Structure 1
C-alpha cells in the first residue's frame, strides 16, 4: 500500500466517533535517552499516567538523526505510534503533506494555544496550510558555551567571559593535559556548532542572510571567512575529545576533563543530574559571551492518525497534558530548556536558565536553522562540517567554497 493509500485509510478511521473511547496505553517515541533527558521525559509520563492513561515509552537510542528515519518508516509503513517527537521546523513536513498526521486545530482553538504559546513562531512551525499539526513543548537554543570552573581553576586561568578569552586560554588547558573544547563525533554536533559561531561571532544579520535569505555571495564572503577561521580554532581545540555522543562530551566538562563545550541548553540537564550548581561548578555563556541572541528551536510532539478510537482520544488528553502549566515547569526544569508558556512559575530556575529567560524576555531571539532550511540542505551541511572537523587537511577556504555552494542551492 502506498503512502497516499495509507493516509486515506487512516483518515477515514479517525473520522469515526470517539464517544465510546476509554483510557488506554499510548506509545510515545522520542530520542531523549541521556540521563537528564530521561529524567525530564519521566515528568511527561507521570503527568499523562495521572489521567488514567498509560505512557508507553518508545525511546530510540542515539540522536534525532538516528531516530527520525525509524519514526518516519513506521508511520509511512502503516505501524504508527501514538505520538512522536520531532524538532520545531520542517522535519515532519512530508508526513503532514501526505495526510499521515492528525490535525489538532480544533483543540488548539478551544484551549487558545495561540495565546499561550510564545514566541508565536513555535506554533507557526506546527502549522501547515492553516492547520495545526503538533504541540510545541519547549524552547531550545544552541547558542551556549558551557565551561568547567574546575578545569580553569586547575590551570590557574580565570573562567573566560567570552569566546575570545576561551580561545586564548586553550594553550594552558592543553599544557595541563585537558581538552579545551569537547565535541562529539556526530555530524549534527559540528554543523550546529558552526551555526552558533555564525550568529554569536558574526551577529544576527549575518545569520539571517545565510540561513534565511540563503545569500550565496555572503556565504562565500569575508564575514563567513572569519567564521571558518573560528571553526578552524574549534577543531584544533577539540583534538583529543574522542567521544561520539553529545552527553559524553558534556560529561568531559562536568568531570573537569575539558574546558568547555558548545551545546544546546539541554546540556544543563546533565549538569543538574550530576549535582552540579550553575555559577559555582560550571558557567554558561549565552551567545558565547559575544552576541546574546538565542534561536528559538526546540521539540514538538506530533500525533499520527490512528484507527483505534480510545488511542485517538488519548492523543487529545496527551496534547492537553503537555501544555499544562505544572507539566511545563516540571519537564523544562529537568530538561534545561525554556517553557513555551510565558505564564508559568519558574522560581526554581537556576542561574543559566534565568539568563535564557532574560534574553527571551528582551526579544533577542531568532529562528532556528531547523525552521529555515530543509532536511536535505541540513544533511549536506552536516556532511560538509563532519568532513571539515575530521580532516585537518581541508582548509577553511576549501570548506567555505563548498559551504557557499550548498547555500546557493538550499531550499
Structure 2
C-alpha cells in the first residue's frame, strides 16, 4: 500500500467532478456510528456531502451493528429504502444484492478508476458479486489491537506490557491496585471478535485461515486451537469485574485508567482522541497483541438501495464519489482511527498508532476477517457460543467442542 504526501494529489482530485451543479436533494444515510469519536468522524462525511449542494440526513441507529443491521435490512426488504446504508464490507449485504435490491455501481467505479486507487484489492473484491461492484469501501479497520492505559500500569507500579503474555502476567499487580485488568464489553459481537483476535495473534495466519477460511473442523478441535481457548479463558477471568456492555464504555475504562487494557478495533482511537489522549504518551497500542503484527483488512462500506426517485438516484452517485474523495477520506479516517482505502492520500497527520497500522498494511501482513470469510448465519453461531462462554463457567473443552462443530457446518 502506497501513501504519498504530495498535497497536489488532494488538490487535483476529480472525484467530485461527477457531481456538477444540481438541485439540492436530501439523502437519508443509515449507520451505527454513535459513540463520540464515531459521531465526529461521520460528521466529516455529512459536511463533504452537504458541500456538493445536497443534504445528508443522518439516520444513526443506536447500538452496535448487530442491532442496526436487522433494522436496515427490514426497511430495504419492506419497501422503505434509505438513500445509503453502512455495512461492513464482506458478506453482510450479500442476500440483498442477490435479491436485486442494491444499486450496481460498476459504471461509476470504472469511470473513477476505483480499482487503481483502492488498496488493498480485497476491499473492492468484497464489494463485488458476479463481476459487479455494489458498495463503496470507506476505511480499513482492523480488530487486532490491544489498547493499554499507561496510567493504569504506572499506578500499579509495573512496566507497560509489550505483548499479551506480559499483559496477563501484570494482571495481579493491577488487581492489587484496584484496577480491572481487562475491559471486555459483554455484547456477543465483542466477545466473538476477542476470540478471533486471539486466534490470529496466538495461532498465526495459517491457523486462522485453516479454521475460518478453509473451515477445517479437525484443526478447530486440535491442540493449537486449545491454546487459543486457554488465552480466551484468561481474558474471561481478567474481565470478570468489568461489568460493561458497550465497547466504548470499556474503552472509557482504559482512557480513565480504571482498566489496564482492552482488545478492540482501531476505531477505539477515535475515543482516545476525543478525550484528548496522546498515543505513546497516555496510551499504548499493540497491533497483533504484540505477538503477531498481522492486521485484517475489514472495515466499513456504503451500499445504495435502489431508488424510484430519479433525483435521489443522482444524489446517490454524488455521495458515492464524495465518500472516496481524497480530502474526505483523510478527514474522516483521522477522526475514526481507521486507515483510508485510497493508497494515494496524505497521512502526515497520522498518530503513532495509525502509523503502526499503515506500516503493517504496507508490508502486506494482512488477512481477510471473519465477516469476509463466513456467512452471517455462521457468525451468529460463533457469537452465541462466545457470549455464553464469557458469561458462564463453561469449560474450555466444552467450548472448543462446540466451536469445532460450528466450523464443520460453516458456510
TM-score of the superposition, structure 2-length normalised? 0.95
2:328 is equivalent to residue 318 of structure 1: no
2:48 is equivalent to residue 50 of structure 1: no
Contact 2:22 2:53 in 1 (8 A): no
**1:23 paired residue number:** 24
Matched position secondary structure for 2:251: helix
Contact 2:23 2:53 in 1 (8 A): no
Q: Which runs of 5+ in 1 are unaligned?
A: 1-17
**2:408 paired residue number:** 408
**2:103 paired residue number:** 102
Structure 2 counterparts to residues 96-245 of structure 1, below 5 A: 96-245=97-246
Q: CA RMSD in A?
A: 1.1
Deviation at 1:23, TM superposition (A): 2.5
| Cα shift readout 1:120-140 (whole Å, capped 9, x = no counterpart) | 000000001010000000000
Deviation at 1:88, TM superposition (A): 1.0
- CA distance in structure 2 between the partners assigned to 1:186 and 1:155 by the alignment: 28
Matched position secondary structure for 1:80: coil
Contact 1:21 1:309 in 2 (8 A): no
- CA distance in structure 1 between the partners assigned to 2:113 and 2:294 by the alignment: 28
- CA distance in structure 2 between the partners assigned to 1:197 and 1:143 by the alignment: 8
Q: Which runs of 5+ in 2 are unaligned?
A: 1-18
Structure 2 counterparts to residues 74-89 of structure 1, below 5 A: 74-89=75-90
**2:343 paired residue number:** 342
**2:356 paired residue number:** 355
Deviation at 1:22, TM superposition (A): 3.2
| Cα shift readout 1:96-149 (whole Å, capped 9, x = no counterpart) | 000000000000000000010000000000001010000000000000000000
- CA distance in structure 2 between the partners assigned to 1:201 and 1:156 by the alignment: 27
**1:70 paired residue number:** 71
Contact 2:330 2:346 in 1 (8 A): yes
| Cα shift readout 1:10-65 (whole Å, capped 9, x = no counterpart) | xxxxxxxx999732000000000000000000000000000000000000000000
Contact 1:21 1:313 in 2 (8 A): no
**2:33 paired residue number:** 32
Matched position secondary structure for 1:62: coil
- CA distance in structure 1 between the partners assigned to 2:230 and 2:21 by the alignment: 63
| Cα shift readout 1:320-374 (whole Å, capped 9, x = no counterpart) | 0000000000000000000000100000000000000000000000101000000
| Cα shift readout 1:282-318 (whole Å, capped 9, x = no counterpart) | 0000000000000000000000000111110000000
2:256 is equivalent to residue 291 of structure 1: no
- CA distance in structure 1 between the partners assigned to 2:127 and 2:148 by the alignment: 34
| Cα shift readout 1:142-171 (whole Å, capped 9, x = no counterpart) | 000000000000010000000000000001
Matched position secondary structure for 2:285: strand
